[in-house]
Structure 1
Amino acid sequence: MSTPARFGGANARQEAEMAARAAWLHFVGGLTQSEVAKRLSVPNTRAHRYIARAQSEGLVRVFVDIESADCVDLETRLMAAYGISLCRVAMDALEPGPLPLRALSAVGADYLMQVVASGAHRVIGIGHGRTIAASVDAMGRTPGERIRFVSMLGGLTRSYAANPYDVIHNLARKTNAEAYLMPAPLFANSAEDKRVMMAQSGLAATMDLIGEASLVIVGIGNTESADGGASAAALDQPDAIDELKRGGAAAEILGQFLTAEGAALETPYDERVMAPALESLRGREVVAIAGGESKLAAIRAALRNGLLSGLIVDEATARRLVEEL
């Protein structure tokens, strides 16, 4: 279990207060960084670090109070087409890379903060992936002491772009909630190894908590690129993704695969994945945060499967999904 992060000692508390004060003077008071440094009697470089720290720790939140009619129309059409109860389309932000992380994380963070503030879910399951990690990073501090977060799948022994420990710990730090990590790899070496690990008291307790999650936040992996999903780095062989594609895999959720039509695809990894079966999540709220051109086919497959109750997606991808209806 990961408990909420707290500043240790008087010096750490003083530094945290200075960061908050610097951010307030800069963003609310309108002072330049040089003026902030003079007001706080610190060097310019330290004032800059204080302001950057306040931003990274979610003390600074920027709101753009606008509702795009085009995005609302896309949301409505996707909800009607796929029977989902929630859809949020992030306006395009003209990002340079293939993954629209800034747009997705802004809307994803807003959704997560609303969920935490509402208190409607006592246990929330958290998947892996860069979009989820970026959404948590973008969250402001939102008290949620009565909520428990639990990681939905293993991943401790691999080097992911978004480390699951960092994500779940970051959630705990920003919400003061309890957060539980699954202390296991994404895939066990064998089905027998999985049975042995699942019998351990720590993992069994985590799986029990996963069973209580009424809301699950997931990412969607694809099979079109090497970095398409959290599971890609954990597969046995470098050509494993190609083999899965030849077998019909188009999307990955929690280390399990779907065809382009949305049907569950049986693979050798099913008996080894350290995660709940996707079918066990039906009837709960399952919201995916995903986007980007490379994820188009995977998102479509996930929507066709019917598991998702909600989708947070970028505008360009949403438009393509609607055009192909």
Structure 2
Amino acid sequence: MHEAPDRAPGDGGAPDGGAPPVGEVDREQLPLSTRDALALDAAKLAHGRGLSQQRIAEALHVSRPQVSKLLTTARAKGFVRTLVLDPRESDRALTHGLRERFGLSDVRLVVPAGRGPSDLDQALGHGAAEMLDAAGAMEGATLAVWWSSAVRSTLESALGRLRVRPGALVVLGGQDRPGGPDPAFEAFAGRTAVPVHRAPAPTVHASLAAQIAREEQADARGHEALVHGAGVLLFGAAPADPLALTCPGLLTDAERAQIRERSVGRICGRFLDPDGRIVAPTLSQRTSGPTLTALRRTGRTVLVAGGAEQLGAIRAALARRYANHLVTDLATARRLMTDDD
């Protein structure tokens, strides 16, 4: 575990108009007090140069107990951050193998700290936020997202941390719920000042005619234009459970049977077979959001998903090149390289 003092005024601070995240520096309070400046000097000597507290005391002309207090101040003020480097997440042979096998431009591996679904989502979200931040291509671009619990965690992990921020966030679908859109979108907008454009239509329509009529309306056409201009498309995966749809009552008996018999999972509302082909095409036709063909035409598509339940959908999506970037957990990554069933 490595601790390092902040280097630049713009690194990961709170957005304009918002309070800084807990443990982070509020750059609006600069210039620093004399004690804060001394605490920063002590932190740099301790964590940047590895000096003992005695040597720091001699360099700063203070007592050794004062050095301890200064280092405590540096942590409390958010001048020092903790970075955990997990060597399991840097398996070059595995990431290279995944890139070669599935034609991926980039792979980010994560290892959850716990064993629950929320632990996995948090790890995936943190990894995806780091990937987006490191990509550089997102500066001022439109980020399009299809809701999943991992995508939600990505937005939460990115709150106030992204150095390179999108110009807009476009919600594609999958977030239909009785209480309205997931609050994570509004929280992201509030903390980053990035405008959020929510999907104007439900994910699944009662008929193809109803979908066509809805997509002809002005707000839907405007939303579609934003989607076409997106530089990055972020989406998750889900098991092949028709009851997990936000509107399972709109499925026909034939569609349910096809899903149960042939599907291994779904992405962007589309159910896939093991080869990544559409299952229940009549349902897909009535589903809003990007088509699978459109996914292959998008410049940067990021699939953030992991776990045994999503393995089939992940493999199918990668086999058909629906994503060119992958964020997944180590166990899933290993199975993607070894499982063929």
Equivalent pair of 2:204/2:250 in contact (CA under 8 Å): no
Partner-residue secondary structure (3-state), 1:68: helix
Which residue of 70, 73, 83 maps to 1:63? 83
Which residue of 183, 200, 204 maps to 2:221? 204
Q: Structure 1 residue 126: deviation in Å?
A: 0.7
Q: Distance in 2 between matches of 1:134 and 1:69?
A: 19
Q: For the structure 1 residues 17 and 102, does the alpha-carbon distance in structure 2 shift closer, same or farther, using more than 3 Å as the test?
A: closer
Partner-residue secondary structure (3-state), 1:269: helix
Which residue of 283, 287, 297 maps to 2:297? 283
Amino acid at match of 2:339: E
Q: Distance in 1 between matches of 2:315 and 2:326?
A: 11
Q: Distance in 2 between matches of 1:277 and 1:17?
A: 39
Q: Let me know the Cα RMSD of the aligned residues.
A: 3.7
Q: Which has the larger radius of gyration?
A: 2
Matched, 1:314 2:314: no
Amino acid at match of 2:152: A
Amino acid at match of 2:227: I
Amino acid at match of 1:149: L
Q: Structure 1 residue 152: deviation in Å?
A: 1.6
Amino acid at match of 1:286: T
Q: Distance in 2 between matches of 1:225 and 1:93?
A: 31
Partner-residue secondary structure (3-state), 2:196: strand
Equivalent pair of 1:165/1:181 in contact (CA under 8 Å): no
Amino acid at match of 1:83: G
Q: For the structure 1 residues 61 and 258, does the alpha-carbon distance in structure 2 shift closer, same or farther, using more than 3 Å as the test?
A: farther
Long gaps (5+) in structure 1? 8-12, 30-50
Match of 1:236 in 2: 249
Amino acid at match of 2:201: A
Equivalent pair of 2:276/2:317 in contact (CA under 8 Å): yes
Match of 1:297 in 2: 312
% of aligned pairs identical? 21
Q: For the structure 1 residues 179 and 72, does the alpha-carbon distance in structure 2 shift closer, same or farther, using more than 3 Å as the test?
A: same
Equivalent pair of 1:99/1:291 in contact (CA under 8 Å): no
Equivalent pair of 1:189/1:272 in contact (CA under 8 Å): yes
Q: For the structure 1 residues 69 and 270, does the alpha-carbon distance in structure 2 shift closer, same or farther, using more than 3 Å as the test?
A: closer
TM-score when normalising by structure 1? 0.72
Match of 1:273 in 2: 287
Matched, 1:168 2:185: yes
Match of 2:196 in 1: 179
Matched, 1:221 2:241: no
Q: Distance in 2 between matches of 1:171 and 1:18?
A: 13
Which residue of 210, 214, 221 maps to 1:193? 210
Q: Structure 1 residue 70: deviation in Å?
A: 6.1
Match of 1:133 in 2: 152
Q: Distance in 1 between matches of 2:208 and 2:188?
A: 31
